[in-house]
Structure 1
Amino acid sequence: MLKITALLRSYFPIRLITAANAMTIFPGQDTASISERLARLLGYIESDPGNAALLGDAAACAFDEQRLDLCEELLARQQALGAVPPASMHLRGLCAMAGGRFEEALRAFAALPDFQSDPVILYNSAYAHALLGHSNEAIALLGDDIFAVVPQAITLKLHLLHHLGLLDEVIEFGARHADHPQVGAEVCGCVATALFDAEDIAGAGEFAARAMNVSDGLTVSGLLALNDGHSDDAIALFARALEMRPTNSRAHLGNGLALLEQHQFAQAAQQIDVAAQSFGNHAGSWVAAGWAHLLNGDLAQARARLEQGGRIDRGFAEVPGSLAVVALKEGKLDEARTQAKIALRLDPACLSATLAQSLLEAQAGHQDVANVILDAALHRPVDAQGKTIAQALARIHSLRFKNRPN
């Protein structure tokens, strides 16, 4: 299961949605006009420091500029006057969210008089719950009446459902909102991702084609191109996806795998490392990173990445299987035998363990012979696109995002 906090931070920057007019302030707005308005308001406050309404307006402008310290200072000055309107209480919660204080944010939202009925407050509360990892609590707050007021709630719910592994629900709910005039492209990107994880390649391609102006749609299109052996096309699509959203971990992973298939091992290792570290607890990404470093000739880094994958998922057979290959390359034959046996107990069809075991039997204790056989085996093409055994092993599990028990 991927870390929901990192995932949501990637998709949803903290946004001010005012309780008064339910308008979302997006990061792409005219920041110059916000700065000018803030400067004017601060000038007015110098002349009228006891004006609670001015302090609240200036605090909202400071938040829009992400000047959180100034925002909280202005809110504190307003509170000292004994006048704290609901909009300022809401803003205090958003400041807490922006500062990573999600429990404090929830307390602020819960104190609002319209907490149970205002769609904006419910959305922000759901978002705070999501950032705490409370996926079920967040979903429970996202009723149908919220979506018309805060369309971003649709994509938030889709990401939460996906995080819980409820792919069928993502697909069904997303399909109902795929034509939304504001967030339809993002919804199609979410559905395409869920269909890819459900191994519905045709469906994933259909929805990705409807989302080519968003990062998720481009990423799924890149993964499909990679799946078809078109690594040049895949790299171009991943580049566009990362230009739109540099934190897109799937695009980093796919880009790394495409580079791996082009024998650009150092660049591949760097890209897959970024993805693995961003996902955090997706064992397949760490295994792919291990193989990238192995092919780049860095056995120490390969071992470190594989061992991290093992800490995440002790039942993942490709971890000990791949460690068996690394140990064989290092000349640690006893460890290679032990790791191969562990892997085959976990999964008798484990490819890396089968490879390591066959090589152990073939070289009969001669390390120089073992290295020659191993290098030849890892770089032997296994399909019409020229993909090698090592490249196949690197990608075979890394692109599977179905939840596994940890």
Structure 2
Amino acid sequence: MTNMNASQEPSLAQQNTNLTSLLTLRQQEFGARVARLETYLHSDPENQPLLLDAFTTALHAAFFEKAEQFLKSALSIGVDASAWQFRCTNLYIAQGRYAEAEAILQDLQQHQGKNLAISHNMAFIRFQQVDYEAALAVLDAVIDIEASTAVEEVNELQVLRFRCMHRLLKLDEAVAYAIHLEKIQHLSAEAAGVASLIAVDAGQLDLAANWARLALAIVPEQVEALVANATVALSQKNTEVSRHFLLRALAKNSVDGRILSLLGFTEMYDLKIDQALSYLQSAVVYMPDHIGTHLGLGWLYFIQKDLESAQAEFETALALDHNFSESHGAIAVIAATQNEIEKARLHIELALRLDKANLSAPYAQAILSGEANDAEAIKRLAQRLLKNRFKAS
């Protein structure tokens, strides 16, 4: 692994600029390929392999009008109609035309019966509509076929199944299922990556590390596995390794709140305040309901003596869950700093009643007694907040 010098790390803005440039370059490459294939098709308009290549390339590049043009050409020929109708559902799903895609899928299913590809697309529509229970029910209906099909052919179904279970917080059930699939050698590499992050949230860090390694050995940029590895590393106080994996994950998805939040906590743990602030400010935009991220951001504002912004973040965290002790402790710290002694004592009492191991309440007590040590206390708080489970995103 390459050692990363902190002074050489790209800023968040630089990372986003680099990612945008890379995506633009890929778009241009796809566009040039589509143009070449289109030229070939002018000479040989009924060439099925050429049409398939052109359609697939245009779809991957999000050139939807071109993809639809190639699709119509293929359907007009009348060869392999059902396969092209299925490809039509891929296009419609990419465009968000779910009702049209589902109508075709239902018709195909009526004629073909149980079919893994059809079931995957039907489940994926439900997933995109945030109906994870319905998506999982569709996948469960073909689990018998899935079990008897080669693992490389069921990778997408396994990935989607685990992502549904993750969002439904069926963590223990998902971990047990991944263990079963691994035992019978039927767990795909990409699905292992998704399972690794589920294992993190289930507190099974050894399993998380094992599944992340399995995934990254085959799919080096599998995002959930990168995040799982980073989280395991951070739990071991290895911020350099955590940062390494998170920056790779961020290059794949620059708007993932969980990745940004973990990067913020990684920098926060190393007391790199400016970098941490930048990441956590972005994280709350994409993950506004995560208590730990609001608290982390609040502590960064507190370090910078911006008590108004710190209090706003702490109050947001408290509004999300009045029974989370660290939020009460954080409010107590602000009150103690502003010499609001009664308010500070009230929230200290509430925090310790909810969790005697609370860290911020004793810090508030230390402020009241004049014994506070900002840097070390914040470092311990960062570590504590990381244990607050992330919602799947």
Closer, same or farther in 2 for the Cα pair 1:185/1:118, shift >3 Å?
Answer: closer
**1:115–1:121 Cα contact (<8 Å) kept:** no
Shift of 1:311: 3.6
**1:275–1:285 Cα contact (<8 Å) kept:** yes
> Which residue of 187, 204, 209 maps to 1:200?
204
Residue aligned with 2:299, SS: helix
Which has a greater percent of helix?
2
Asked if residue 66 in structure 1 is aligned to residue 70 in structure 2, the reply is: no
> Which structure carries more relative contact order (alpha carbon 8 Å, separation 6+)?
1
Q: Supply the distance in 2 between the matched residues of 1:258 and 1:40 (Cα, whole angstroms).
A: 51
Closer, same or farther in 2 for the Cα pair 1:114/1:351, shift >3 Å?
Answer: farther
TM-score under structure 2 length normalisation? 0.72
| Aligned residue in 1 for 2:316 | 308
Closer, same or farther in 2 for the Cα pair 1:34/1:302, shift >3 Å?
Answer: same
**1:152–1:183 Cα contact (<8 Å) kept:** no
Q: Supply the distance in 1 between the matched residues of 2:279 and 2:359 (Cα, whole angstroms).
A: 24
**1:288–1:395 Cα contact (<8 Å) kept:** no
| Aligned residue in 2 for 1:168 | 172
Residue identity in the other structure for 1:236: H
Residue identity in the other structure for 2:172: D
Over the aligned positions, Cα root-mean-square deviation in angstroms equals 4.1
- 1:4-403 alignment, distance < 5 Å: 31=30, 32-41=32-41, 62-71=58-67, 85-87=81-83, 89-112=85-108, 113-114=110-111, 116-142=113-139, 143-144=142-143, 145-146=145-146, 148=150, 149-178=153-182, 184-212=188-216, 213=220, 214-247=222-255, 249-333=257-341, 335-357=343-365, 359-360=367-368, 362=369, 373=370, 376-379=372-375, 388-401=376-389
Shift of 1:303: 2.9
Closer, same or farther in 2 for the Cα pair 1:218/1:82, shift >3 Å?
Answer: closer
**1:320–1:342 Cα contact (<8 Å) kept:** yes
Q: Supply the distance in 1 between the matched residues of 2:113 and 2:309 (Cα, whole angstroms).
A: 51
Closer, same or farther in 2 for the Cα pair 1:42/1:317, shift >3 Å?
Answer: farther
Shift of 1:115: 6.9
Residue identity in the other structure for 1:233: V
Consecutive unaligned residues in structure 2, runs of 5 or more: 1-25
TM-score under structure 1 length normalisation? 0.70
Q: Supply the distance in 2 between the matched residues of 1:307 and 1:205 (Cα, whole angstroms).
A: 35
Residue identity in the other structure for 1:253: S
Closer, same or farther in 2 for the Cα pair 1:211/1:399, shift >3 Å?
Answer: farther
**1:288–1:398 Cα contact (<8 Å) kept:** no
Closer, same or farther in 2 for the Cα pair 1:107/1:300, shift >3 Å?
Answer: farther
**1:281–1:312 Cα contact (<8 Å) kept:** yes
Q: Supply the distance in 2 between the matched residues of 1:153 and 1:186 (Cα, whole angstroms).
A: 11
Shift of 1:160: 1.5
Shift of 1:354: 3.9
Query: More displaced, 30-39 or 308-317?
Result: 30-39
Consecutive unaligned residues in structure 1, runs of 5 or more: 1-26, 49-53, 363-372, 380-387
**1:158–1:173 Cα contact (<8 Å) kept:** no
Residue identity in the other structure for 1:328: A
Closer, same or farther in 2 for the Cα pair 1:71/1:181, shift >3 Å?
Answer: farther
| Aligned residue in 2 for 1:10 | none
Residue identity in the other structure for 1:136: E
Closer, same or farther in 2 for the Cα pair 1:129/1:392, shift >3 Å?
Answer: same
How many residue pairs align between the two structures? 353
Residue aligned with 2:215, SS: coil
Q: Supply the distance in 1 between the matched residues of 2:207 and 2:330 (Cα, whole angstroms).
A: 33
Closer, same or farther in 2 for the Cα pair 1:203/1:84, shift >3 Å?
Answer: closer
Q: Supply the distance in 2 between the matched residues of 1:184 and 1:79 (Cα, whole angstroms).
A: 34
